[in-house]
Amino acid sequence: MSGAEPIDTTGSHAYEPDPAAVGFVLQLVQALHGHGESAQRVEDTVSAMSDRLGLLGAQIFSTPTSIMASFGPVGRQRTHMLRVRPGEVNLGKLAAVERVAVDVTQGRQTPREGAREIARINAASPPYGALLTILAFGVSSGAACQFLGGGIREIPVALILGLGLGTFSHLVAGSRRLGGVFEPLAAFFVSASAVGLAHLMGPLSVLIATLGGLIVLIPGLTLTTALSELATRHLASGTARLSAAVITFLSIAFGVAVGNRVGAAMFGAPPTAAPELLPPVASLAALVIVPLCFTIIFRAELREAPWIILGGALAVEAGRLGAATLGPELGAFVGAFAVAVASSIYERLRRRPAAVVLVPGLLLLVPGTVGFRGLTSLVERQSLAGIETAFSAVLTAMALVAGLLVAGVVAPEPRLGGRS
């Protein structure tokens, strides 16, 4: 005989969960999802919270566009369905929401008080103004261009393109109509502008400058998260997220292809030259500048900037060491493992979500630019080079996922009730 609980279809013993507890859990899951948490983390956090609040048989099913939550024994469940939109990563609000979850779990707040606090957090204004955020877009693009092999001409061009992207992002932020075509439009303007700037600022690598200008848009983190969810059997969420990443890659590649053609028609074929590389000290400066800009772009609290910078530097240096011994793709495994272990330690020491350190660190490792190069080669009918580069991107992403999974065994993140 099976040890499973028999299904009661009679309804004779209706289960009535605490409405305040259910309301808080539903608001919590919406907030975590809306601020960029992965499906696995959302489900684990809410399941732990439900256990603490005495909500029997809680089951959570999270995808990028919908959330279902059921409470009660099988056959007598109360099920809720929430229609949601994929959220942008907001590390500051994510940390604040998880802090509320811990307070409710440990009895410092009631579920009703926790729900009001989450509503206040969701309604709070961004911690950084539009001008500072646009500046962070530009500076991160210029600094990241150095990681991509850019030189003395490519870096200032990427900085200008990043400023333009940040400005365009701010202008269309409130428009749902333009939001649906934001990526291809942004890629078009950036690539066409790169061709024009190549004529203005001298011969340079237009591809590297364009990649630097688009670095914030390229969905490498979405691709890595999707593969991680697939690897942990969150198949619905992983498949949906993977599809979204592929569509975003394709739309950016389309925008760049059209922008290159239009730019060449307007300004003429761009003068090209090999990048004039900067001295090694530039890499050290970029290791500080890029994570600091990510702190602003992902709206983390400024006091967390030193930890984010340390996590980013650890990810890059560990990745370089791994690449030197295991090869460029498998080197990502070492980098992801190192930053994941460090983020787990950070969570235990600081009592804040590991994502605050993990997300910016992974962004310095994710294979988004490699995948974009592959798509660009395919668009230019260089099929063999495109397939090889795309395969390298997928292998790198899987290496990152493997690093995260192994780190989760070696240094697991503490459960919700383990933080105080």
| pLDDT, tens only, 132-160 | 999 999 999 999 888 888 889 999 999 99
78-83 and 66-71 beta bridge pairing? antiparallel
Write the CA distances from 405 to 39, 58, 229, 340, integer angstroms. Answer: 15, 25, 10, 9
Whole-number mean pLDDT of the chain? 84
pTM of the entire predicted model: 0.85
pLDDT of residue 10: 47
Q: Is 2's pLDDT higher than 50?
A: no
Residue whose token pair is 């560990």: 318
Q: Specify whether the backbone of 7 is left (phi greater than 0), alpha (psi in -120 to 50) or beta.
A: beta
pLDDT of residue 299: 92
pLDDT of residue 3: 46
Q: Is 197's pLDDT higher than 90?
A: yes
DSSP string, 249-272: HHHHHHHHHHHHHHHHHHH-SPP-
Q: Is 190's pLDDT higher than 90?
A: yes
Q: Please write the tens of the pLDDT for every residue from 271-310.
A: 888 888 888 888 888 889 999 999 999 999 999 999 999 9
Q: Where are the domains of the chain?
A: 19-123, 127-279, 300-420
pLDDT of residue 174: 72
The least confident of 106-120, 192-206, 319-333 is: 319-333
The 3-state secondary structure of 6-62, one letter per residue: CCCCCCCCCCCCCHHHHHHHHHHHHHHHHCCCCHHHHHHHHHHHHHHCCCCCCEEEE
**CA–CA separation, 212 and 100 (whole Å):** 37
> What's the pLDDT band for 1 if we cut at 50, 70, 90?
very low
